[in-house]
Amino acid sequence: MNCDDVRVALSARLDGEDPRLPSAALDAHTDSCPGCRSWLARAERVTRLTRLRAVDVPDLTAPVLAAASRAVSRSAATALAPGRG
Ligand SMILES: [Zn+2]
């Protein structure tokens, strides 16, 4: 098991895939190998940023509320119109 094997496995584990190597062996290597430790720190940061961006959707709360408010006042006006004289 060399550093490349470990990094491939760590990357798979970060992606939620089967690392194909025992987690204990990966953690033991990462603990004893500064190169893989800093590689893992960078990979975790990239994975986190990617996930944050993936759920970054536009906030449509204001337009939806505005549309709903317009719909309510339109239906209220329609409901009141026949009663007015
Ligand atoms: Zn290593």
C-alpha of residue 39 to centroid of ligand 1, in Å = 9
Looking at residue 84, its pLDDT comes to 54
Looking at residue 1, its pLDDT comes to 87
- Please name the residue ranges forming H helices in 15-60: 23-32, 34-54
Rounded Cα gap, residues 45 and 39, in angstroms: 10
Mean pLDDT, each 10-residue run in order, the chain (85 residues): 96 94 96 97 91 75 92 80 61
Contact 36, 13 (CB under 8 A): no
C-alpha of residue 30 to centroid of ligand 1, in Å = 6
60 is in which domain, residue-wise?
A: 3-83
Q: What separation, in Å, do the N-terminal and C-terminal C-alpha atoms of the chain show?
A: 87
Rounded to two decimals, what is the model's pTM? Answer: 0.60
C-alpha of residue 51 to centroid of ligand 1, in Å = 25
Looking at residue 82, its pLDDT comes to 66
How many helices and strands (H and E) does the chain possess?
4, 0
C-alpha of residue 13 to centroid of ligand 1, in Å = 16
Number of domains into which the chain is organized? 1
